Structure 1
Amino acid sequence: MDMFVTGSYDHTVKLWDVRVTDTRSVMEINHGNPVEDVIFLPSGGLLATAGGNSVKIWDVIAGGKLMFSMEGHNKTVTSICMGRVGKDTGEESKQLRILSVGLDGYMKVFDYAADRVTHTMRFPAPLLSIGYSPDCSTRVIGTSNGILYAGKRKTKKKENEESESDQFWRIAPVEQAERKVLKPSYFRYFQRGQGEKPSPGDYLVMRPKKVKLAEHDKLLKKFRHREALVSVLGSKNPENVLAVMEELVARKKLLKCVSNLDAEELELLFLFLHKYCTMPRYSSLLMGLTKRVLEMRADDIRASDSLKGHIRNLKRSVEEEIRIQQSLQEIQGIISPLLKIAGRR
């Protein structure tokens, strides 16, 4: 054949004719990405180029017209080759396919006559090259981690029907030769991929996990104090509510937030006070807050029957807590003399 083709990282594919004495190429095609591989199809009139995440078919006879573009890969296509696939009934029954591999770890079989991908196979590492034997019985794929995957065509048919890929391939990794250990003084040491395993003496720098903030924390960061208080009151978590209230006290914004609450938001606050103000863990803050809320929102409470109902419930809770404390003091008064007598003995 007197024609040959070249591809370059300048996105161009050039067709050369050895019979032409001129040093210029006879045809130039722009692939649109750095070209990784280029091959002639068996007919001689079509050209396949690989670059970027696409494989393109060009009609050389028509002056470099784009016929098909297969963009099934997610990353750069590194190598392509031609092969025949099909049943074991003769060469005429086998169909021509373009096999492509890429840095995404996929091998794809492309039927350019039907403009579709007929088969996809996943490998555990980025793929750099692919080769097909002349008798279409074996293909070999090279990976970035130094392992070769050789696939040999099966000759025995199984009883159950299988897919084209199951009938055709048996994957067997070729043993990898012992690789030289990379040292920090080597240039390749700094070109390692994310899949490289650290050595025992390596120091690993881990990214800290991003803390997911709750809604009230986000509002506090934006200084939207009243909305933060309302948000945390709706969460029904007393620990969070007390934490937000203490933060608002430190910012001197708690009473201002309470004064700006509407009737429904004020009901949420009274429900929380009724449930937790008598608990010893929270009473030091909540009892004082309850007193100030009653003083500040007295007019609103008088105008609303629902708020009056909350105040009655709150009053009953406080009276019940007072009775319990009085009973405990009476019991303490009875037990204290007995403990003193027991201590003297």
Structure 2
Amino acid sequence: MEYEPAEYQKLQIRTYAPRSIRETAEGKYWRRFKSPIIAKQFGAVSHIDFCQQYPFNLAVTASTRVILYNGLAPAVIGRTISRFKDIAYSGCFRSDGRLVVAGGQDGIVQVFDANSRSVLRQFKAHKRPTRVARFGADKLHILSGSDDVTARWWDLTSGSQVLRLDGHRDYVRAAAASPTSPDMWATGGYDHCVKLWDIRTGNTAVLGLDHGAPVEDVAFFPSGSLAVTAGGNYLCVWDLLGGGRLIKRLENFQKTVTCVRLSPLAGPDSAAAPRMLAGSLDGHVKIFELDSFRVTHATKYPAPVLSMGLSPDCRLLAVGLADGTLSVRRHARPRTAAPVAQERQPTQPKLTAANYRYFIRGQNSRAAATDFRVRKQRQARLQPYDKMLRQFRYRDALDSALSTRQPEVVASLLEELAARGGLGAALGGRDAEGLRPVLRHLVKYMAEPRYTRLLSNVGHRLLDTYAEVVGVAPAVDRLLGALRDRLAEELGVLAELTQLAGALEPLLAASLAAGGLGEGG
């Protein structure tokens, strides 16, 4: 009876974990916000707002003025609104970009014409500084929040107060409109509470949320069913349709989180949308993805971050700092060419046996999901060390693997030789010239943690085999000395790390014990 030889299986090269964390597509996208335009303001940049209409101008509130910058050339100052008696707050565009609203230290809410900078309306019911002012979606109303613990709903056309919203017990510092319902608003205050209001039902909040720290900012998700609040050194994500259920608490900052924004559904690739951006007094702006709320990217600024804005087309990222610095970064993406009218294509002749394309038809067609695929048997292309392994030439196979200078290939081959019981045959019977590549590999990679266990066994086998001829070849002796020095250096490092771990252990134990006593007290 004759037996057919089994098909040779190629050597499977072992894969190892990467040495360092490689930059992801997400990180690459946010790093393309380059060439920061730095503009020094007269005071801390407390608020940044982008116009929703092209060219997406931005309003920057700092000290006693609101400065309007050109969205196409962020370094160019369009207009400066300085009609404030004291510090200005929360300069915001109307959705059409024609009007700007801002609060002030004197409590007055003012509405300006964005082109002429003239004052169109003044609302004077607030008794203390007004820190937040926003236009309604209907363009005819304004919501303002003040340190007098009230929020007020104003009619722009008549210049009168329509509604006073009472419910906060401390300063009102944040407000946001629902993107899906023009009558739903959220306000946040230093009483740790976030109130959800329905303007149609009067001055009673329809929902209250306890953030647990003074609320600095609040924002709705694009769906309108979720909201995020910023305050303390954390963010809270809430399910509004679920009765205000806390979904996630994000403690990714060392200091107070001052601003939070949701990136609009735009951008050159999927990495831009949707994302959540948050800035903090620790100088970091961090980007969160919205599935598991994991931080995907972070940028460090030289001063505490007070405000932040992202243009609707995700082209400009503006950050305001406490030292008066305005940083505007532009996304380095290629411009898209204008669509070109398609020319009329000539009709193709009917395919018949008289045409050469008839005989090659279907070669470039893709198989449908329901088609049955018959895969072509391809002959495996063997590497030189595979061919030698197939012929049981173990010594030559090891030399061929060493010649590749790829440590993962050598490690995979040594493991295969050990499994076959051919490691002794591969290492034995070598002269000085044959030993040098093996020793050079041991010197170079013995201290690598991923190869140490395997190569140490190979080194022991090598020394046992050639112990009697040590001192015969000077070149081999030099390599053995280099291997000894490399191992001594590695052992010295391990000894120092052991001493350091021993010194830190009592400190860590004392710290844990102190923490336990503090919680118990």
Instruction: Place the TM-score, normalised by the shorter chain, in its bin.
Output: 0.3 to 0.5
More helix by share: 1
TM-score (norm 1): 0.43
> Highest Rg: 1 or 2?
1
More strand by share: 2
* Greater RCO structure (CA 8 Å; 6+ sep): 2
